[in-house]
A and B are shown apart, each in its own frame.
Chain A
């Protein structure tokens, strides 16, 4: 059974950094592109970016490219999202998803709240 479990969310102050993790199981992690998607409190879905199966290539939403970094550790079957200089508009639930052109499995999400 494919499972994706995110962690690392919480309350964070504006301007701070935060690193989210997603542990994958039930499939060969190193065979798949992986993506991050977030959902705002108003339920708007926003794609953050993705990473190639071997970690050699990443794509980002242009508005987030300078502050967010996606990486992976295939030995640990773990996907990461490094967020820097966070803003109130980054408040959202962050989902780890499998795939790139088709997002077939989603984790339960981890909530990030940016507030002073």
Chain B
């Protein structure tokens, strides 16, 4: 299975600040069809995960442009700018390139 390693485990940020979350995979996430199926999810307290970013850098419908994804191969980054209270929760990366899907351990974003 592809191992997804997320860092850091937790982040403290001031409102209006900027943060980055890193996700590294144990194997390349480039699919045979040329796509890279790396997604980012946010799980707010008491809720189910919601898709933020798919295929590395594509924002899902309704997701603010304060969220951006980048990376390639095995190294990926989620950046959140101008952090708002509604951004708090746990962020997960996940890969759908190779079965089985695997997820990172999560990064908890808290207020400083």
- Interface residues, chain A, CB within 8 Å of chain B? 35, 37, 43-47, 49, 59-62, 95, 99-109
Mostly, the A contact residues are: loop
B54 near A102 with CB under 8 A, answer: yes
Q: How large is the interface on B (under 10, 10 to 19, 20 to 34, 35 or more residues)?
A: 20 to 34
A-facing residues in B92-108 (Cβ within 8 Å)? 92, 94, 96-97, 99-103, 105-106
A108-B47 Cα distance, complex, nearest whole Å: 7
- Interface residues, chain B, CB within 8 Å of chain A? 31, 35, 37, 39, 41, 47-51, 54-55, 60, 90, 92, 94, 96-97, 99-103, 105-106
B50 near A37 with CB under 8 A, answer: no
Could you name 16 residue pairs across A and B whose Cβ atoms are closer than 8 Å?
Answer: A44-B105, A45-B106, A47-B101, A59-B99, A95-B48, A95-B49, A101-B35, A101-B37, A103-B96, A104-B51, A104-B54, A104-B60, A106-B49, A106-B51, A108-B47, A109-B48
